C-alpha cells in the first residue's frame, strides 16, 4: 500500500458543487435581490418540482427531516392513543418524529441482509391500536412497495415513508414518496440532494393534508394571523429551496454515479466474502440510490469492525457507522421498555456495519484504494491467526 496517497474523505461535496457553482451563485443572488427569505418564490417552485419528481401531488417544505416526520404524521391524523410501527434499526429522528405526535412507537427488528424493516415482524406487532407503519428506506433502498401495500390493505394501516436517505429511489416501479399517504425527506447537506444547512419536505397525495401541513409548519396559521392549528415554526428557508431547486435537475445523474460506484465496490469486494465481509444486499437493482455504501464485518472475519475502521483511518480512509446503537438501546428511550436482546438482528448489525466512502466524483482509483486497503488489513490479520494456530499446535 502506498502511504503517500491522499486522504479519501467519507463525504466530499466539492465535485457536485464545483460543477454548478455559477448556477448556485445566481440562485442565491436572485433570492437576495427579491428579499423573500421566508416562504418565498423558490420554496413554492421547489415544492412543486420535488413532489412531481417523487410522483406525489403536493410538497410542503419544512425546517428538517425530523419535522417532516412529526408534522407529516400529525397532518395525517396520527396522535395520542395510536400505535405506529417502525424499525429499531434507524436514525433516532424517525423515533423522535413519532413520539412528537403523542403516538406510541412500536419497534420491530430488521432483515439482517438488507437492514430494512422486517415486515413479517411488523405484521406480528400489529394490534387494534395500530394506525400506521413508518418504513425507513435505509441507505437509499426502498422497502418493498408491494409488501407494504399488502400489509396496509390487510390491516387498514397508513403508510408514511421515512425517505430521508432515498431521494428518487425506486423499487417495483414505484418511487420513494409515492407509496403511501405521505413521505418525509431530509435535505441535510450530505444527503443525495442536500442543502447548505438543514431542510426537509413532506410529499403527499391529498390536498387537504397538504393544506394542514402548510398551516402546521407556520404557527398553525391557515392565513396570516389566523391560527386554526396548534402549529410550530418549521419552514424551509427560501435560500435553501433555491439551492435545492438548482441541484434537483442533476440528482438523477448523481444517483447514477452512486450506483456505478456501488457496482465497482461490489465487484472488488466479492473475494472478501471468504473473509466474512459482505455488502448489505441490494434488492432494488438500479433503483437503489446508495446514500450510503455499507458492508458487514461479520464474526467470520479475522478482524473486528472497530479494528478495521481504525486501520483504514491510519491509511487516511474515512468511514462511518450507521448506526452504532439501535434506537431501543439509546438511553433517552428507556421509558419505551425495550431491553437488550429485544431485536437481535438490529443489535448484531450495529456491531458489524461499516459505511465506506460514497459520493458522486469518487474515482475508480479511490475505490480500488479503499478495497485494496481492506484486503491487505484482513489478509494480514488472517495470516496472523493462522500463524498463531501453528504456534499453538
Alpha-carbon dihedral angle through residues 202, 207, 210, 214, given to the nearest 10 degrees? 150
3-state secondary structure of 368: helix
Residue 101 near residue 131, CB atoms below 8 Å: no
Selecting among 129, 191, 224, 334, the annotated active-site residue is: 191
Instruction: Give buried/exposed letters for 169-181 (b at 16+ CB in 10 A, else e).
Output: bbbbebbbbbbbb
What are the grid coordinates assigned to 261, written together? 460506484
Burial (CB < 10 A; 0-12, 13-18, 19+), residue 35, is: exposed
Asked about 334 being catalytic, the answer comes back as: no
Residue 243 near residue 27, CB atoms below 8 Å: yes
What are the grid coordinates assigned to 135, written together? 418504513
3-state secondary structure of 265: helix
| DSSP states of 156-167 | T-EEEEE-TT-T
Name the residues annotated as catalytic.
Answer: 191
Amino acid at each position: 500500500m502506498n502511504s503517500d496517497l491522499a486522504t479519501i474523505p467519507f463525504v466530499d461535496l466539492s465535485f457536485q458543487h464545483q460543477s454548478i457553482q455559477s448556477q448556485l451563485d445566481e440562485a442565491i443572488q436572485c433570492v437576495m435581490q427579491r428579499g423573500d427569505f421566508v416562504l418565498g418564490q423558490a420554496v413554492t417552485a421547489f415544492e412543486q418540482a420535488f413532489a412531481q419528481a417523487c410522483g406525489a401531488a403536493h410538497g410542503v417544505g419544512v425546517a428538517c427531516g425530523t419535522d417532516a416526520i412529526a408534522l407529516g404524521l400529525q397532518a395525517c391524523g396520527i396522535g395520542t392513543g395510536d400505535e405506529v410501527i417502525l424499525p429499531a434499526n434507524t436514525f433516532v429522528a424517525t423515533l423522535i418524529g413519532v413520539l412528537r405526535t403523542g403516538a406510541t412507537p412500536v419497534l420491530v427488528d430488521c432483515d439482517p441482509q438488507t437492514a430494512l424493516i422486517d415486515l413479517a415482524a411488523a405484521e406480528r406487532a400489529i394490534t387494534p391500536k395500530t394506525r400506521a407503519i413508518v418504513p425507513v428506506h435505509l441507505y437509499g433502498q426502498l422497502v418493498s412497495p408491494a409488501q407494504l401495500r399488502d400489509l396496509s390493505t390487510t390491516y387498514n394501516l397508513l403508510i408514511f415513508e421515512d425517505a430521508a436517505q432515498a431521494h428518487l429511489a425506486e423499487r417495483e416501479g414505484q418511487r420513494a414518496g409515492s407509496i403511501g399517504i405521505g413521505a418525509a425527506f431530509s435535505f441535510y447537506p450530505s444527503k443525495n440532494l442536500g442543502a447548505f444547512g438543514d431542510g426537509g419536505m413532506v410529499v403527499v397525495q391529498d390536498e387537504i393534508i397538504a393544506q394542514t401541513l402548510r398551516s402546521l409548519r407556520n404557527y398553525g396559521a391557515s392565513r396570516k394571523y389566523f391560527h386554526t392549528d396548534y402549529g410550530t415554526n418549521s419552514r424551509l428557508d427560501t435560500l435553501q429551496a433555491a439551492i435545492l431547486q438548482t441541484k434537483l435537475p442533476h440528482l438523477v445523474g448523481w444517483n447514477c454515479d452512486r450506483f456505478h460506484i456501488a457496482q465497482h465496490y461490489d465487484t472488488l469486494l466479492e473475494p472478501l466474502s471468504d473473509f466474512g465481509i459482505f455488502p448489505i444486499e441490494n434488492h432494488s437493482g438500479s433503483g437503489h440510490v446508495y446514500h450510503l455504501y455499507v458492508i458487514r464485518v461479520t464474526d467470520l472475519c479475522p478482524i473486528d469492525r472497530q479494528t478495521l475502521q481504525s486501520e483504514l483511518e491510519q491509511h487516511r480512509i474515512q468511514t462511518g457507522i450507521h448506526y452504532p446503537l439501535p434506537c431501543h438501546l439509546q438511553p433517552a428511550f428507556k421509558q419505551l421498555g425495550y431491553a437488550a436482546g429485544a431485536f437481535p438482528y438490529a443489535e448484531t448489525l450495529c456491531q458489524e456495519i461499516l459505511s465506506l466512502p460514497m459520493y458522486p466524483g469518487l474515482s475508480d482509483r479511490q475505490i480500488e484504494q479503499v478495497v485494496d486497503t481492506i484486503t491487505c488489513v484482513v489478509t494480514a490479520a488472517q495470516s496472523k491467526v493462522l500463524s498463531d494456530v501453528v504456534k499453538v499446535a
